[in-house]
Structure 1
Amino acid sequence: MQSLVWATGLLSLFHSASGAAVISSRGDETVPITLDIVNAQLAPDGFTRSTIVANGTYPGPPILVTKGQTLVVTVNNQLTDSSMRRSTSLDFDGIFIDADDTFNEGTPFVTTCPIGPNASYTYTLPLGEQTGTFWYHSQLSVQYVDGLRGAIVIYDPEDPHAELYDVDDESTIIQVGDWWQNSTLPMLAGYEATGIVPVSDSGTFNGVGRYNGGPEVPWPVVNVVQGKRYRFRIINQSARNVFTMSIDNHNLTIIETDGVSTVPHTVDLVEVLAGQRYSVVVAADQAVDNYWFNAPFVGGSPARNLHQNATLTRAILRYEGAPEEDPTTPLTSGPADGVALVEADLRPLIPEPAPVPDVNITLDLVVTAGKAIWNVNNVSYLPPQTPTLVKVLDGASAAGDFNITENTFILPPNATIQVDFPPNDDDEAHPFHMHGMNFWVVKSNSSDAVNTEDPIRRDVVGVGAAGTTLRFRTDKPGPWFFHCHIFWHMQAGLATVMLADPEGVRDDVHPTEEWLDLCPAYNALPAELQ
């Protein structure tokens, strides 16, 4: 393990032998990271299967950096297992991409082409003033279901919430995710044939899970010291499942939502949709003992997968001095009468009114019954062979320059766009995610209230039965992918491209030769290597 410490105002790292994470002192220096994308035989829930992972681990190594640095990530594709995709592409969820770095954004067939086997690519990402909790994952098809996911934390040496907690290091990163014991290619074929989204075998908490009938894999342990306060950075790395986080006998004070500092808001339970992140402060103010850190989930009917038992996704919050044993209390889904987070109650620490919209867009989400086909405004998104960014750099500017199935909305520069998602009857909220930027949540799916004065800003929002309204700015030219973070739905067409200022793209974006070589190399691959 590695630990992070504050010393003379700088954030430093004690390295483990594996060198799993990299962080350097505060400043504008470059931080190089190497991720080898490999197939590895792993058993997160006790069932061994071939996986696709970064540097041989699930989740992948945490990327720990500091505000103002430039992150340089070299991805080496070393995949060989033909039961899964052999190419790959990395997305850095929530990281704001500068307009002139759009080609490093990592979305296959929108801003780039995938990286083929035995090839490498280096993503350069200036982090600027951004801070908070983020994550990386494969953006190709549903590949991250096979394991390619990991945490990113951008620490702020001047964190306005620093007085609220004592510990914020690698040990306080909480990664939950859904896990399947089958590889994605056969599961995707089954989904396309039936329209039924695969139900996960288990959920994982920091890479560890259990399933009905499986071995009693040791629970992960989160260690605390009585009297200290901990900033837990919760990341839902699922491709479908919604996790509800709680800790027996402890409450949670939210101080960050998807990289945005919030007014402290105390609750007992936090529901986290796929792709969402929260920082919560937990005071270790109870008797020295072992407590359940609960992470039950929902995601399809357990009747479709008898392995699934949502109450088995959890960890032990262990106080220093407590015996190394399980808590004596029952495995529950959390406090039955606890106060649950209502997203509409969140407020940013620095309020920013949502600008008056210049353009209004309504997005209707509809599924074709019995088929794996999702539509946005009667269009099911299909990735084009030539990425959107390549087309724009070659002169594409009008709707007729794109296939209808690219579902591309061409937007003026420096405008405020309002997107309305009308209420729908689907039984699960769709976590819609914006690449490259975040948005104002003017109306949350959690409430009927409309808030234009101080709404929360985030980059993943639930779209469901109550309806959702958001606004974003087109200050950054580029084609920005906007899609459901239930990746099975995204693969079935639940996605759009928000193309801001095509002329500005041609003025600002100047790709490297390395990027220009990606598409010819990928297109030359036989289908089994793509």
Structure 2
Amino acid sequence: MKSIFPYAPLLAIASVALAKTESVTLDIVNAQIAPDGFVRSGVTANGIYPGPLISANKGDRLVVKVNNKLTDHTMRRSVAMDFDGVFVDTASIYDEGTDFVTACPLGPNMSYTYELPLGTQTGTFWYHSQLGVQYVDGLRGPMVIYDPQDPYRHLYDVDDSSTIVQLGDWWQNTSTSLLAGYEATGVVPISDSGTVNGVGRYQGGPEVPWPVLNVVHGKRYRFRVINQSARNIFTISFDKHDFTIIEADGELVKPFTTDELLILAGQRYSIVLNANQKIANYWFNAPFVGGVPARNLHQNATLTRAILRYAGAPKRDPMAPMTLGPLNGTGGTVEHLLAPLVPEAPGESAVNLTFQLSVVAGQAVWQMNNISYLPPETPTLVKILDGANTTADFNATENTFILPANSVIQVDFPPSEDDESHPFHLHGNNFWVIKSNSSDVVNTVNPIKRDTVAVGAAGTTIRFRTDQPMPAFFHCHIFWHKQAGLASVMASGLDDIRAEVHPDAEWENLCAAYNVLPEDEQ
């Protein structure tokens, strides 16, 4: 059994033919944590924020045992784990982890083992609680699937745990109290701070030591950048350094060099930085936007940063001022400029869906085509296994679409009137970005694939294939909006699901155990 270590090994060189089972354990516990210097109780994996790195190689089978040891009644005590961006074969979709879609949550003092065959996937992923807005309390961490035969291996020298950059938004109050305020006012909570690898500062707070990204002059580093926020959009840059994008959400892209990069909640990028500047300390800038700062005077966008420290440089802050990034930078919006390493034609769509997003004024209610998603008491997968075949077999508030198997589905998001870029995420699959919210260009020739995309003022079009039979949750990754109903389920291959999915007793016990829990343990 392989444990989760604080430092992962360098990129593995073993052949995929040596694929093995990687077994890890996550103890979900309440712990006193202080990412920005303010101490509070949190919900954590193994007692730390962010949680420990989970890593494996291409083709491995990942086995994750989750032990729910939560005891703090001021926060949710059940949990539902999601491994964001990881595909799951049909036979294993009951381990996909989406509460009330593929399973019931895991109650306190219970354990559950997720088994994830990783197949041919590689890249940068993450895990988090999918239940309510629980990951706001800290339950989020990195996950990397390394490729021993990475076609871009010649572009970088270092790719290990030290080159993982986790961006997060942090609240000093618990998610349950924040959610109560949101439901009463319709105003999404404004974070107190932003964090880089679990460390941040807030206006007027203590000067918590900056996190450090260590480099050696002359070496090239593959930084895997993950936006683990529940709302905030970060724009990253390094003082006096450009970098090259090579991956977006687990999909390789043609190398694209820029000086800034905008990253929405749930998105991940791999970037290569050449440590070729003078030996010194440089700022890594990660300012964010996420609501009106005046609603939380703790918020100061310039305080989300780290130090890029060259070996041999003094252990002190950079001499340069703290800025929001390059004075004449690109602004970071580059998605529409990216191209896939291996172009793939999306194909013509067999089904066209249009989703209009709207919010009920003054309420914490978001809608897709006038429907606000509500999790059902009986999970979607259970209903399918019990014979559900049509949309009429699901509650209207489940917003479930029955799609043909082995087909191309197009989803159009018309331009939105609200001022947010909603990061829409599809579980268990990825999609072609036919039209990015960052451009008016429609690309059906060589669009990139990813699993989280901005939906906003300019409009967005995506296409995906339903080759993998499953009920796939499709939702906004601003988790406050997801909780307020901005979600749906894309279900396909229902007969195949019934033929191939045979859940074990451990899974079947989840709902029976959860349904008898008192409210304060759910």
Report the TM-score, using the length of structure 1 for normalisation: 0.96
Shift of 1:5: 2.7
Distance 1:395 1:369 in 2: 38
Q: Distance between the aligned counterparts of 2:406 and 2:11, measured in 1?
A: 40
Deviation at 1:27, TM superposition (A): 2.5
Q: Deviations over 1:400-419 (max 9, x none)?
A: 11100000011011111000
Aligned to 1:69: 60
Q: Which residue of 2 aligns with 1:354?
A: 346
Distance in 2 (CA, whole Å) between partners of 1:163 and 1:330 is 34
Question: Matches of 1:353 and 1:249 in 2, distance apart?
Answer: 38
1:248 partner letter: D
Aligned to 1:442: 434
The answer to whether residue 32 in structure 2 is matched with residue 28 in structure 1 is: no
2:265 counterpart (274, 279, 286): 274
How do 1:191-270 and structure 2 match up within 5 A?
191-270=182-261
1:46-65 alignment, distance < 5 Å = 46-65=37-56
For residues 140 and 447 of structure 1, what CA distance do their matches in structure 2 show?
33
Mapped partners of 2:345, 2:435: distance in 1:
13
Q: For 2:334 and 2:312, how far apart are their aligned partners in 1?
A: 36
Query: What CA deviation, in whole Å up to 9, does each residue of 1:375-432 have, x standing for no partner?
Result: 0000000000000000000000111111000000110111110000000111110000
Matched, 1:190 2:181: yes
SS at match of 1:253: strand
Q: Which amino acid aligns with 1:102?
A: I
Structure 1 424/363 Cα, relative in aligned 2: closer, same or farther at 3 Å?
Answer: same
Amino acid at match of 1:514: E
SS, match of residue 10 in structure 2:
strand
Aligned to 2:3: none
- Match for 1:492 among 484, 497, 501? 484
- Aligned 1:118-157 pairs, distance under 5 A: 118-157=109-148
**Identity percentage of aligned residues:** 66
1:79 partnered with 2:66: no
Verify the 8 A CA contact 1:253 1:264 in the aligned structure 2: yes
| Alpha-carbon offset, residue 136 of structure 1 | 0.1
1:332 aligned partner: 323
1:522 match = 514
2:240 & 2:391 partners in 1: Cα distance? 56
Alpha-carbon displacement from aligned partner over 1:464-505 (angstroms, at most 9, x marks no partner): 001000001111111100000000000000000001121121
Residue matched to 2:91:
100
Output the CA distance in 2 between the equivalents of 1:26 and 1:221: 36
Q: Give, in whole Å, the separation in 2 of the partners of 1:169 and 1:510.
A: 37
Aligned partners of 2:361, 2:113: CA distance in 1, in Å? 42
* Structure 1 equivalent of residue 447 of structure 2: 455
Question: Cα gap change, 1:64/1:6 in structure 2, threshold over 3 Å: closer, same or farther?
Answer: closer
User: Helix, strand or coil: the match of 1:489?
Assistant: helix
Query: C-alpha separation between the residues in 2 aligned to 1:393 and 1:68?
Result: 28
SS at match of 1:520: helix
Q: Distance in 2 between matches of 1:26 and 1:239?
A: 38
Pairing 1:263-342 to 2, within 5 Å after superposition: 263-339=254-330, 340-342=332-334
CA distance in structure 2 between the partners assigned to 1:266 and 1:399 by the alignment: 46
Stretches (4+) displaced over 3 A: none
Structure 2 runs not aligned, ≥5 long: 1-5
Q: 2 CA distance for matches of 1:64 and 1:172?
A: 13
Give the residue type in structure 2 aligned to 1:368: V
**Deviation for aligned residue 1:311:** 0.6
Name the structure 2 match of 1:2: 7
What's the offset of the Cα at 1:508?
Answer: 1.5
What's the counterpart of residue 389 of structure 1?
381
Cα deviation, 1:263-283, whole Å, max 9, x if unaligned, reads 000000000000000000000
Contact 1:27–1:67 at 8 Å: present in 2 too?
Answer: no
Q: 1:421 aligns with which of 393, 410, 413?
A: 413
Query: How far apart are residue 26 of structure 1 and its match?
Result: 7.2
Give the TM-score normalised by structure 2. 0.98
Which residue number in structure 2 is paired with residue 465 of structure 1?
Answer: 457
SS in structure 2 opposite 1:392?
helix
Following superposition, the deviation at residue 6 of structure 1 comes to: 5.0
Q: Deviations over 1:91-140 (max 9, x none)?
A: 00000111111100000000000000000000000001100000000000
The separation in 1 between residues aligned to 2:132 and 2:389, in whole angstroms, is: 26
Is the contact between residue 26 and residue 157 of structure 1 (CA under 8 Å) also seen in structure 2? no
SS in 2 for 1:4: coil
- What CA distance in whole angstroms lies between the structure 2 residues aligned with 1:3 and 1:108? 30
Name 2:473's counterpart in structure 1: 481
From 411, 419, 442, the counterpart of 2:403: 411
Distance 1:227 1:186 in 2: 49
What is the alpha-carbon distance in structure 1 between the residues aligned to residue 17 and residue 185 of structure 2? 52
